[in-house]
Amino acid sequence: ETPRHRGTCYQAANWIKVGQTTGRGKKCPTSKPILPIKDIWLYPLHRNFRSILCR
pLDDT digits (tens, 9 = 90+) for 6-27: 888 998 999 999 899 888 877 7
Q: How many CB atoms lie within 10 A of CB 37?
A: 13
CA 3 to chain centre: 14
Count CB-CB contacts under 10 A for residue 24: 15
pTM metric for this prediction: 0.69
pLDDT at 13: 93
pLDDT digit string, tens, across residues 23-50: 887 777 777 777 888 899 999 898 888 8
The H-assigned helical ranges of the chain are: 8-12, 49-53
| Beta-strand runs (E) in 1-55 | 16-20, 39-42
What DSSP state is assigned to residue 1?
Answer: -
